[in-house]
Amino acid sequence: MEILKELRSSMGFSQQKLADKLGVSRSTVAMWESGASQPDNDSLLHLAKIFNTSTDFLLGNVEERYASPKSVKVPVLGYIRAGIPLDAVEEILDYEEVDPAMTAKGDLFALRVKGDSMEPRIREGDVIICAETPCVESGTVAVVLVNGNEATVKKVVKHKEGLSLVAFNPVYSPMFYTNEECETLPVRIVGRVIELRGKF
């Protein structure tokens, strides 16, 4: 089912995210996409509903092309503090629509900002669209997990001895973590900020 991979990519889903929606394993989705196995009827119906298409199209029984979505919905997963790190809450608060072309940047998620440490560029209530990634270049604004589950958005500045999380607001001092602390706390980059959506 090569079309399944195309549809999944158009929606910005990873294999794992699609598997979670269907209640199956990631390897099952991979086997469907490779043609090693076929989804059962219930899964086919669920897939057709997710992608707003027909089971016949998924199975290759009809020729009409699937119309690409005009936008992709990205879940806003919760608040993130632009200041003191705040526990990352993986509950969906809302959805933001993005151009399907943005999915080429990777798996997308969005977070709502709290705090004033990234002012004046990023303000409380703004939504940041992020591409999942474990690594960014020095100077990139990124989402970072500290102590495993405390999420913050900062500019990441890399040093030989470790990295600094730098606020835009000069009132806040940079937070420096040694390479050892990055491993033991841990400090982990989870996403690169690719778009800012300000709220009025």
Active-site amino acid positions:
117, 154
Q: How far is CA 109 from CA 1, 32, 94, 105, 168, in A?
A: 26, 25, 11, 11, 22
Can you read off the two tokens belonging to residue 59? 């199975």
Q: How far apart are the C-alpha atoms of 44 and 25, rounded to whole Å?
A: 15
Residue partners of 12: CB distance under 8 A and separation at least 6: 72, 74, 98, 100, 102, 103, 107, 108
